[in-house]
Amino acid sequence: MILVIDNYDSFTFNLVQYVKQLDHQVKVIRNDAITIEEIRQLQPSAILLSPGPGTPDNAGICLDLVHFLHQEIPIIGICLGHQIIAQAFGAAIQKAQQPMHGKVSELYHDNQGIFTNLNNPLRVTRYHSLIVNDISLPNCFDISATTMDGEIMAIRHKQYSIEGIQAHPESILSDQGLLLLQNFFVTHSQTSTYLSEKIVANTLQP
């Protein structure tokens, strides 16, 4: 079962549909409606931190979730979820060079983790005005994707099963978003049975 922490965002529904397409059971809980111990009792195979408004400081239990569970359960963060992961490990969150709301751009990645076998550069849709500060990001993370201007678009923990992406893979204008999520579950979860070939066959290529 994949636990989706909903940060009060309309995109959460689209992410849930993607996870269901990957043949996973999904449980969706708001960020202020569960405790750390209750999460442990659920025994999810992975946790997805959804996008949302505001900052990591306003995201309910999410910072504590990453702090207490990052050694136990694979975690992927999308947009705000990505920022939550970074801040939980000590990184600063800052204003982006310019707000990106519904803008399509290209990110350049390292072809590993969630980006395995994806287009490079990868066309993604962005809805954010904040980014992770690269100088403050601790060295336990790899920067796995950036914009052409060098802004951080994705991070991957070097030891634990944790990845974050600033863009929205679930957006209809993003390429290969379903395969990106599948890459995470294949790499970090033991329960995924959906065939990558099937996803590729049903993913629009640019």
Supply the residues annotated as catalytic: 79, 168, 170
Which candidate, 99, 77, 96, places its Cα nearest to that of 88? 77
Token pair 């993913």 in the structure block, residue: 203
Which string of DSSP letters, residue by residue, matches 158-194? Answer: SSSSEEEESSBTTSTTSSSHHHHHHHHHHHH-S----
For strands 122-132 and 2-6, give the pairing: unpaired
Which candidate, 132, 120, 133, places its Cα nearest to that of 176? 120
Q: Is the distance from CB of 75 to CB of 35 less than 8 angstroms?
A: no
Q: Is the distance from CB of 200 to CB of 178 less than 8 angstroms?
A: no
